A and B are shown apart, each in its own frame.
Chain A
Amino acid sequence: MCLCRPQGSRGAGVPGCVRCAAALVAVLAVLLLVACSEAPEWRTQSLEADFPDLAFELTTDRSDTFTEADLRGNLTLLFFGYTSCPDACPTTMTRLRAVLDELPDAQREHVRVLFVSVDPDRDTPGRLAAYADHYGPEFIGATAELARLTELVQRYGSSFRHEPGRREGDYVVTHGSHVLAFDGDGRARLLIQSSDSVEAIAHDLRHLLAS
């Protein structure tokens, strides 16, 4: 006996049990969609709570020991690249500049872009400082010796590799183009990809700075 249709009735078309089942599936689907969907808080990728905190010991043109303590209280955007990079690095740095220009002055002064060079042989602290200064006062260039650099890069799930060029001493460094955002306490909050728009990044940074 089907509970969805009175006994004895012979309805045309779809049987009552099938209608019941279809209705049940539809209700479950709606409940599932409602449960799974939520108002998007972030437009870039939010990171899990157990992502490693910001921790480093680097060298800049002003300090041989530049650590995360020097950036405490600021929102830090960490990016690995090198000054001789043909396009990915200038593109990313220019985008970050555009993002900072989208922020109100009161928020912008609490943002720092930490550009860590993965080419310590060619990127001296002085060269890094000149490169970073080109994009604005919020940009900091730093590097370290290769072993420490490798450890730092791998800690955040990144990697780099030197590829030989066509001439002696001429090489390129293959690396990622993503940017990690750390809040004022050094907690990793966002993973910013090259596909994220300037507006989306600025939206998330405003949200972070306001919280």
Chain B
Amino acid sequence: MTSATFWHRDRQSATGRSLSFGTLCKRSALAALLLAVFVLAYGGTVALLMHQAAFLAAPGDRLMVVFPRDTGTATALERIGAAGAIYTGSSRWIHQAEVIDASAAEQLARDAWVMRFPGRPALEGCFSVARENR
């Protein structure tokens, strides 16, 4: 069955009978459902990989931290600082942090979902010295 036939470009099935609007809607819904499943599966896998990668974060790396909904901003900031990271911004409930202590992700993961941004940002003087001394 070609895509044209699937979408009934000429509004005719292979037998020459017209298909109903309902059938078209059902097939559209099925396609949308398949697309949603694909997106969730792909997105979920990426999120899981980014979560695992967070535990390999070194000083200078960036993290995304998602605290439980009832965690206030003040509490989130204190936890980021206490874990050995630096708050660098947030978008809604997703906080961004830069790693100071190599164990920051592990400490944050006790209270939050942590993911690591892929790639390493440019290091500043203080961070580069820390990296050399590791």
Contacts and interface: CB of A to CB of B under 8 A. Distances in A.
Interface string B24-56: 100000000000000000000000000000000
Interface stretch (A27-35, A62-70, A137-145, A154-162): A154-162
B98 to A, nearest CB: 7
Contact of B10 (A10, A85, A153, A176): A10
Given A17-B24, A52-B77, A87 B133 contact: no
- Size bracket, chain B contacts: 35 or more
A87 B88 contact: no
Contacts of A15: 7-11
A46 B74 CA distance: 16
Contacts of A191: 87-89
A147 interface: no
A163 interface: yes
Nearest to B24: A17
Contact of B86 (A17, A158, A165): A158
Contact of B100 (A2, A164, A174, A193): A174
Contact of A161 (B7, B24, B130): B130
Interface in B56-102: 59, 72-74, 76-78, 80-90, 97-98, 100-101
B124 A178 contact: no
A86 B129 contact: yes
Contact of A176 (B74, B82, B100): B100
A51 B74 CA distance: 6
Given A159-B86, A161-B130, A87 B125 contact: yes
B126 interface: yes
Nearest to B25: A17
A86 B126 CA distance: 7
B63 to A, nearest CB: 12
Interface in A9-58: 10, 15, 17-18, 45, 48, 50-52
B124 A50 contact: no
A165 B11 CA distance: 77
B59 A174 contact: yes
A177 interface: yes
B81 A163 contact: no
Given A157-B87, A191-B87, 4 more contacts: A15-B11, A87-B124, A157-B77, A159-B84
Question: What 10 A-B pairs are tightest by C-beta distance, nearest first?
Answer: A157-B87, A154-B81, A157-B77, A87-B125, A176-B86, A50-B73, A174-B130, A159-B100, A86-B125, A157-B80
Interface of A: 1-2, 10, 15, 17-18, 45, 48, 50-52, 85-88, 153-161, 163-165, 172-178, 191, 193-194
